[in-house]
Structure 1
């Protein structure tokens, strides 16, 4: 934050020094008081460009993060489906217990954990469930090459679930870069106030375009805040992938 403040002060200092130098070098400097003059036109264009740049970043970053989070949820649910299939190679009782644990985990994610992710948090119970299942499968005694291969594959699938879960936790906690929302609000406010700062005094119907611009900028700024989290807001990632996994469990295991 200190570096940002110093950069702003440095830019202001460059403007002041430049203005002073030109005033000393030019004997009869002309004044530019016209709201539509070159100074106001140049500053207005640059401020508008700055706002558009910041606004674009504030929209694109959460949008991209949300798309990535959606793909990660599909990866986790697919890993759970693959683990459900892999359990078929275990002894009957062990396979049934593993499949029950996978089903309960997916139901837990959809029912209990998803609301927490809208707040940027995860329930540690989910990770504990995966650790318990991994330990149970690791300690499982199997006989024969086929069962051993099924056990190894199942452990790999459970590891894939845990990896995808960790990525989902990172996606839930992720927010846009610090200061981006503040900069969006600041540049938007300056763009709205600039005509008045430049000396314009619109009256009557001439103020309607500025009012419309302010309304659109306000809505756009609110939108950048509303989509800042991947699992909350209008672009929120839903648990559709996990609902699909539950349907696949029912199809593969007949409700087990």
Structure 2
């Protein structure tokens, strides 16, 4: 839509100038050129800052997702040696799978599913209800309690990341300065030439590409470079490796 609007405005402006414009007259073009260059400088400055903010948001969200999966892996390691913790292993796996299937589609819109949250709450209750038979099991239970808290914290951080996005002031500033970059040279009223048309196309392309790129990268879980659930998929393979070291015991009759 942005490209279509920009092209339409450009064509309309060129047609109007072709019919009404004056050729070879200096109608304060020096002042207009200075204002257009100033608007271009502002536009590029805002664009550069917005790009840095978008990349930082994506990088931070990726790190936070990794921290959550690491906490889940450590939690699984903590409960694996406890014979009574078989159901907790299943809950950890279920939470990881549901985070991928339910959370990720919603996170692109800044929301989170309540289902994994409920699973996590039940998981904490199950860890607290454990009654290990020996001191080693009790120590592992305490460690698991800490890791559950880490997962809760990491999930809250992921929810905050899903609600982040580029502030509207940057997009508004880019749109205003970009429009000035495009429109100001047309106010001189000269008829378009081959060179001026090329310049117009370059200006429009720079503005459209810049604004479009920011709109496509303005959310860490949506658009170009969006953070995916790869770490949650990978951690489920780690659960299999842990199970190979500590096979789950069937529940006693």
TM norm structure 1: 0.81
Find the counterpart in structure 2 of residue 104 from structure 1. 94
Are the counterparts in 2 of residues 58 and 184 from structure 1 also a CA contact under 8 Å?
A: no
Q: Which deviates more, 99-108 or 206-215?
A: 206-215
Find the counterpart in structure 2 of residue 128 from structure 1. 118
Alignment of 1:27-66 (within 5 A): 33-35=27-29, 37=30, 39-66=31-58
Are the counterparts in 2 of residues 34 and 199 from structure 1 also a CA contact under 8 Å?
A: no
Instruction: Tell whether 2:177 aligns with 1:187.
Output: yes
Distance (Å, rounded) in 1 between the aligned partners of 2:161 and 2:37: 36
Cα deviation digits, residues 49-94 of structure 1 (max 9, x gap): 111111112221111101000011110011100001000232x1x3
Distance (Å, rounded) in 2 between the aligned partners of 1:251 and 1:89: 13
Alignment of 1:193-212 (within 5 A): 193-212=183-202
Question: Quick one: higher RCO (CA 8 Å, sep 6+), 1 or 2?
Answer: 2
Structure 1: tracts of 5 or more residues without a match: 1-31
Alignment of 1:130-149 (within 5 A): 130-149=120-139
Find the counterpart in structure 1 of residue 213 from structure 2. 223
Moved over 6 A (4+): none
Structure 2: tracts of 5 or more residues without a match: 1-25, 249-253
Are the counterparts in 1 of residues 58 and 225 from structure 2 also a CA contact under 8 Å?
A: yes
**Secondary structure in structure 1 of the residue aligned to 2:133:** coil
Q: Report the RMSD for the aligned CA atoms in angstroms.
A: 1.8
Find the counterpart in structure 1 of residue 79 from structure 2. 87
Cα deviation digits, residues 155-176 of structure 1 (max 9, x gap): 1111111111111001111011
Find the counterpart in structure 1 of residue 8 from structure 2. none
